[in-house]
């Protein structure tokens, strides 16, 4: 019998001054048996960093990610089901990134572990043609501090200003400074 995912619930209050995005979001996040809380919190942060100001072009939704190889962790589809934004967390192979770039107008990847620079060095030359891809690294100590905040039921405030991300659970605050590794449009 397969082990089932553990369900986490998060109430996010987002104040993103950089993009003028404000709102409350209730999320149900399955933690797959092969997934860590660090990855779960990286997905949560990726949601906060990419949620659109409104849903006129579709909402950013949790996809099946690890449970389905053909889906990202998050995606935004417009009302005609066109894939606008593919958001991935981790260190996927170059083929997966190329496939995502072919399917979506925009692809954003967040990598978060100590091995991210080594992984990136291995694919940097292979992704040079992927112009709709952005890759961000969450510093390891910061993503681990986020993982320490993980609870089955969470109320988090996420404030973003001048590229600085502050995540607070009311008792602790973690500052995250995502670092751009690759900006395909630049």
Tens of pLDDT along 77-99? 998 999 999 999 999 999 999 99
CB contact at 8 A, 9 and 24: no
pTM exceeds cut of 0.85: yes
pLDDT at 184: 85
pLDDT at 176: 98
pLDDT at 66: 63
Phi, psi of 100 (to 5 degrees): -60, -45
pLDDT at 1: 61
Positions in the chain short of pLDDT 70? 1-2, 65-67, 185-186
Instruction: Work out the burial of residue 184: count CB atoms within 10 Å of its CB; fewer than 13 is exposed, 13-18 middle, 19 or more buried.
Output: middle
pLDDT at 79: 87
Q: Give the residue extent of every domain in the chain.
A: 14-26+43-183
pLDDT at 122: 95
pLDDT at 70: 84
> Does the 14-26+43-183 domain belong in CATH 3.10.640.10?
yes
pLDDT at 186: 58
Relative orientation angle of helices 37-50 and 140-148, to the nearest 10 degrees? 100
The span from the CA of 167 to the CA of 15, in Å, is 11
pLDDT at 56: 83
The span from the CA of 160 to the CA of 41, in Å, is 16
């Amino acid at each position: 019998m397969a082990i089932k995912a553990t369900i986490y619930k998060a109430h996010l209050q987002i104040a993103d001054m950089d993009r003028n995005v404000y709102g409350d979001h209730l999320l149900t996040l399955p933690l797959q048996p092969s997934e860590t809380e660090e990855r779960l919190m990286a997905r949560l942060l990726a949601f906060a960093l990419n949620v659109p100001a409104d849903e006129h072009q579709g909402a950013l939704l949790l996809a099946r990610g690890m449970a389905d190889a053909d889906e990202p962790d998050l995606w935004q589809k417009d009302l005609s089901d066109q894939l606008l934004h593919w958001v991935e967390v981790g260190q996927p192979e170059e083929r997966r990134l190329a496939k995502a770039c072919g399917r979506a107008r925009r692809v954003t990847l967040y990598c978060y572990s100590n091995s991210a620079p080594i992984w990136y060095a291995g694919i940097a030359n292979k992704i040079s043609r992927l112009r709709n891809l952005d890759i961000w690294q969450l510093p390891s100590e910061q993503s681990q501090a986020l993982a320490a905040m993980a609870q089955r039921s969470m109320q988090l405030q996420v404030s973003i200003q001048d590229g600085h991300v502050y995540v607070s659970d009311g008792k602790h605050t973690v500052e995250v400074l995502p670092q751009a590794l690759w900006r395909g449009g630049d």
